[in-house]
Amino acid sequence: MANKNSFSYKLTAEQQDILDEILRTGNYRPIRVEHTRIAVEIPHCKISLYKSGTCLVQGKGATDFVTFTLEPLVLMGAEIGYEEVINPEATTPHMGVDESGKGDFFGPIVIAAAYIDPRLAEQMRKMDVKDSKQITSDKKALRIGGELRNLLGNRHSVVKIGPAAYNRLYAKMHSVNTLLAWGHARAIENLLEAVPDCPRAISDQFGSKQQVERALMKKGQKIDLVQRHKAESDLAVAAASIIAREIFLRSLQQQSDFHKITMPKGASAGVREWAVELVKKRGPKVLLDTAKCHFKTTDQVLAAAGSSREALGPEGQAVSKAFTYRKKSK
């Protein structure tokens, strides 16, 4: 079903109270709309709860708000958001694969694969499983991720590539997409040990499908590999994305505890400031064990700390050469 830009619902008094609480306590910006009890906006979406009890959701992001917030939390039913889940084909046995940490300077990259069948799909819906990017609370991601791993048992697999291994692999492979293809293939192969008859694996599009297929070994070469835009709408991929995010968050905290300094998420200016302090305290080579050193952030951090890539030694130079090679080959 194509995205709609406008939805209107008549809410009960109880539903109005629930939505009011969500909009007042969530990450929404209040706006003025006449005759409303509350009106807010987020990027590409405006939500207006009128005094009459009508809720109006408008904008390019309206479908996502209805799918991931209004239906599961207020309406307690799925009409827009889970057409694929309601469709039996979407809950037939298959696995989803997704990653977390790719855009984060600090911490590992984590690739997870999660299996689904009709019974597991029903339980996942009750757990409010959705794309981890739609879960804004780290606490919630940690909780649901743990619950999912308990639910799935050996029917999920995780490939965690820590910063040191990531830097070595990048120096060898010269490409994040090649590294991701290798990680996705390993996650698929590992999960097939537990569910050898799984017929297909679904993932988001991040590069050439053939890269993953080439990286698959004998067992994985029999699986139907599907790459699709916005694959997180598939429940198995959504489950994999939450598990990957949970493991990433736990690993980043462990890394922070070990080095006794907070290692923030992302690659913003604030992250660079933290990295500069870390380099000043521990020396430039600490980045090889804590960060993804092909990021241009590395050069900015080293310069701000009065150093350069030469201080990273041979390993750091190998990453730098791989990055330079990649840019020239484009």
Please tell me the distance from the alpha carbon of residue 231 to that of residue 243, in angstroms, as a whole number. Answer: 15
What's the CATH number where 53 sits?
A: 3.30.310.10
pLDDT at 317: 61
pLDDT at 2: 42
Please tell me the distance from the alpha carbon of residue 211 to that of residue 172, in angstroms, as a whole number. Answer: 15
pLDDT at 88: 55
pLDDT at 213: 76
In a shared domain, residues 66 and 115: no
pLDDT band per the 50, 70, 90 thresholds, residue 85: very low
Most confident of the following: 2-11, 73-82, 108-117: 108-117
Report angle CA 213, 218, 224 to the nearest 5 degrees.
Answer: 45
Neighbours of 194 (CB within 10 A): 14
> In this predicted model, which residue has the larger pLDDT, 134 or 189?
189
pLDDT exceeds 50 at position 325 = no
In a shared domain, residues 191 and 217: yes
Average pLDDT for 37-57: 95
**Strand-pair partners of 50:** 36
In a shared domain, residues 238 and 160: yes
Whether the model pTM is above 0.75: no
Looking at the domain assignment, is residue 265 inside a domain? yes
> In this predicted model, which residue has the larger pLDDT, 81 or 27?
27
Looking at the domain assignment, is residue 163 inside a domain? yes
Q: How many residues does the chain have?
A: 330
Average pLDDT for 10-27: 92
In a shared domain, residues 102 and 49: no
Q: What is the DSSP string of 184-198?
A: HHHHHHHHHTT-TT-
pLDDT exceeds 70 at position 93 = yes
In a shared domain, residues 227 and 127: yes
- Cite the beta strand spans of the chain per DSSP E: 6-10, 29-30, 36-42, 45-50, 54-58, 94-100, 109-116, 156-161, 200-204, 224-228
- Minimal CA–CA distance to 94: which of 218, 202, 244? 202
**Final residue of a domain: which of 63, 81, 99?**
81
Q: What is the pLDDT of residues 300-314, one digit of tens each?
A: 999 999 988 888 877
- Minimal CA–CA distance to 102: which of 158, 146, 148, 166? 166
Average pLDDT for 175-201: 91
Most confident of the following: 36-40, 170-174, 301-305: 36-40
In the chain, helix, strand, coil percent, each to 5?
A: 55, 20, 30
pLDDT band per the 50, 70, 90 thresholds, residue 150: very high
pLDDT exceeds 80 at position 77 = no
Average pLDDT for 223-247: 88
Indicate the helix (H) or strand (E) that contains 39: strand 36-42
Please tell me the distance from the alpha carbon of residue 248 to that of residue 128, in angstroms, as a whole number. Answer: 20
- Minimal CA–CA distance to 205: which of 98, 306, 286, 278? 98
pLDDT at 172: 86
pLDDT at 1: 39
Based on the structure, what is the number of domains in the chain? 3
CB 35 within 8 A of CB 51: yes
pLDDT at 205: 77
**Final residue of a domain: which of 254, 274, 301?**
254
Please tell me the distance from the alpha carbon of residue 205 to that of residue 63, in angstroms, as a whole number. Answer: 21
Looking at the domain assignment, is residue 1 inside a domain? no
pLDDT band per the 50, 70, 90 thresholds, residue 322: low
- Minimal CA–CA distance to 105: which of 296, 321, 247, 310? 296
What's the CATH number where 106 sits?
A: 3.30.420.10
Place of tokens 């916005």: 230
In a shared domain, residues 98 and 247: yes
In a shared domain, residues 230 and 302: no
Looking at the domain assignment, is residue 243 inside a domain? yes
Q: Which three-class secondary structure string do you get for 202-265? A: EEECCCCHHHHHHHCCCCHHHCEEEEECCHHHCHHHHHHHHHHHHHHHHHHHHHHHHHCCCCCC
Give the residue numbers spanning the domain of 196: 86-254
- Minimal CA–CA distance to 116: which of 202, 6, 228? 202
pLDDT band per the 50, 70, 90 thresholds, residue 154: very high
Report angle CA 151, 153, 155 to the nearest 5 degrees.
Answer: 105
**Final residue of a domain: which of 199, 226, 254?**
254
pLDDT exceeds 90 at position 149 = yes
DSSP state of 127: T
Average pLDDT for 116-132: 83
Please tell me the distance from the alpha carbon of residue 80 to that of residue 292, in angstroms, as a whole number. Answer: 39
In a shared domain, residues 103 and 137: yes
In a shared domain, residues 144 and 174: yes
Neighbours of 258 (CB within 10 A): 11
pLDDT exceeds 90 at position 51 = yes
In a shared domain, residues 72 and 118: no
In a shared domain, residues 129 and 270: no
pLDDT at 142: 94
pLDDT at 210: 78
Residue 29's SS3 state is strand
pLDDT exceeds 70 at position 272 = yes
In a shared domain, residues 19 and 76: yes
CB 77 within 8 A of CB 22: no
Please give the mean pLDDT across all residues of the chain: 85
